[in-house]
Amino acid sequence: MSVADKIIAIIAEQAFLEPKDVKPDATLEQLGIDSMALVECIFAIEECFDVQVPFNANDPAASQFDISSIQSIIDAVEALIAAQKT
Amino acid sequence: MNRVVITGQGTINALGMSVPETLDAMSNGVCAIGPLAFDNVDRLNIQIGGQIKGYVPQDHFNRSQISLYDPFTQFAVIAAQEAIAQSGLDFTKELAMQTGVVLGTAGGGLQTQDNNYRTVYQDGKNRVHPFVVPRLMNNAAVSHIAMIHGLQGPSFTVASACASSNHAMGQAYHMIRSGMARVMVTGGSESMLCFGGIKAWEGLRVMSPDGCRPFCATRNGMVQGEGAAVFVFEDYENAKARGAEILAEVIGFAMTSDASDIVMPNRKGAANAMRLALRDAGVGPDDVGYINAHGTATAMNDKVETAAIRDALGAAADRVMVSSTKAMHGHLIGGTGAVELLAAIAAVKDGMIAPTINHTKTDPDCDLDVVPNIARQEKVKVALSNAFAFGGLNAVVALKST
């Protein structure tokens, strides 16, 4: 499973959707992911990839972790994984 | 002052998954105490308890709820569902504003704490699930019941160890009596049956390794249980106006503090709580037909409680039936007063007097009619339900048949 597939699987589980219904251009809001589900997604991503996601629930916009779409989350996680390897 | 009646009751505990199942088990003197089953139980000296058998969270809750509800919340939500359904109440916008939730618990989300301490200390992990705090907080059960049913009145959680539920129900009673609320959802919940929960109690050396035998000469300590019981307390005028079935009337409540010892029971404090409950209820010792005793089956509690009942009731103590249902369902700590109120309600409503099971040898220090081993059918007008907590905090509820 690729990084993108794993992230889509995590988000799909939280959104009670099939992975095929989680499109990269979708927003969390469109998928019905509320703030509680979002922190569960971030926890699952951290557990899955063993990374530390820089996300602050007090001010998501100020975090260095772009959650504006599924693709942006995939890009951000890939960057975290790459940074960890160097 | 408003009169307060009970129009709904619900429970899940080792004796049953509902009130009918529990009362059926109580009337048959069923013992639900057995071997405990959870991680690391082999490292415990005490390996018995009143664990709810066959409980599958997925039968009651969806995945999001399970990730957010500690077992003590799950038990409370299940019990509240049964109680509110029985009451037949329709929480209109106006009534919802005048309905609150007050529950007792001692350990709250103890299993959540236990599991996550294991994760960070034993497994050495540096990351915990995001819902640890909302799961473990002692008011989680109250808040989830309020959210599910839209109840927006006075709501909070009471913690006074083994008297938590009685204190909670006392608060609910006073709120309706004073007019602060019209309906209160009240009772208590506990889920301490996990490695850390039992290990902590082992330290005190008050637990029995082989069974709970209240008031019996062979008693050797308490046995823990788990679960919840929740009731709908309602303004009598409200219940009457809508033609609701009234299970019992709450006629009095009293609480005292021993101000003497952090673990030892105190005869005077316990006796005063019963005396004041009778005074609050406006009834005398001769009116009392049944007392649901605290009856933990420790050497001290049962002896001191017997003496306190004699002090409070005088000559009437020779005629009153006294039983401890803990021998059947175990000691639910913060939830125990709630589950035991089911027995007090059954006494005044149906004349079903739950027995004190496992009674094999009379103790001269416990010389009351403890309804040994076999339930009785007898008409009772007034019943008391005792709860005496560590820390010397006593709370007694008085009920009357309607």
pLDDT value of residue A16: 94
**Quick one: which H or E segment has residue B78?**
helix B71-87
> Which residues 76-115 on chain B approach chain A with CB closer than 8 angstroms?
none
Per-residue pLDDT of chain B (402 residues; tens, 9 = 90+): 999 999 999 999 999 999 999 999 999 999 999 999 999 999 999 999 999 999 999 999 999 999 999 999 999 999 999 999 999 999 999 999 999 999 999 999 999 999 999 999 999 999 999 999 999 999 999 999 999 999 999 999 999 999 999 999 999 999 999 999 999 999 999 999 999 999 999 999 999 999 999 999 999 999 999 999 999 999 999 999 999 999 999 999 999 999 999 999 999 999 999 999 999 999 999 999 999 999 999 999 999 999 999 999 999 999 999 999 999 999 999 999 999 999 999 999 999 999 999 999 999 999 999 999 999 999 999 999 999 999 999 999 999 999
The C-alpha of B149 sits at a distance from chain A's nearest C-alpha, in angstroms, of 20
pLDDT value of residue A27: 96
Contacts of B144 in chain A (CB under 8 A): none
Contact A44, A10 (CB under 8 A): yes
B149: tokens are 């049913």
Among partner residues B64, B68, B129, which is closest to A43 by beta-carbon distance? B129
B143: tokens are 């808040």
Size of interface A-B (CB pairs under 8 A): 15
Domains belonging to chain B, first-starting first, are 4-241 (3.40.47.10), 252-400 (3.40.47.10)
Q: What's the structural domain count of chain A?
A: 1
Q: Which of B159, B13, B175 is nearest to B82 (CA)?
A: B13
**ipTM of this complex prediction, to 2 decimal places:** 0.85
Domain that holds residue A72: 3-85
Q: Which amino acid is at B298?
A: T
pLDDT in tens, B287-308: 999 999 999 999 999 999 999 9
**For B129, which residue in chain A has the nearest alpha carbon?**
A43
Determine, for residues A39 and B67 on separate chains, whether the beta-carbon distance falls below 8 Å: no
Determine, for residues B131 and A36 on separate chains, whether the beta-carbon distance falls below 8 Å: yes
Quick one: average pLDDT of A8-33? 96
pLDDT in tens, B354-370: 999 999 999 999 999 99
Determine, for residues B130 and A43 on separate chains, whether the beta-carbon distance falls below 8 Å: yes
Contact B75, B69 (CB under 8 A): no
Question: What is chain B's mean pLDDT, rounded?
Answer: 98
Determine, for residues B67 and A40 on separate chains, whether the beta-carbon distance falls below 8 Å: yes
**What does DSSP say about strands B48-49 and B34-35: parallel, antiparallel, or unpaired?**
antiparallel
What number of other Cβ atoms are within 10 A of residue B290's Cβ?
29
Q: Does B40 touch chain A (CB under 8 A)?
A: no
B47: tokens are 């390996």
User: pTM of the prediction?
Assistant: 0.96
> For position A57, which CATH number holds?
1.10.1200.10
Contacts of A39 in chain B (CB under 8 A): 130
Among partner residues A36, A37, A47, which is closest to B127 by beta-carbon distance? A47
Cβ-based neighbours of B337, under 8 Å, separated by 6 or more = B104, B162, B163, B164, B165, B166, B169, B188, B385, B387, B395, B397
pLDDT value of residue A86: 75
The C-alpha of B246 sits at a distance from chain A's nearest C-alpha, in angstroms, of 41
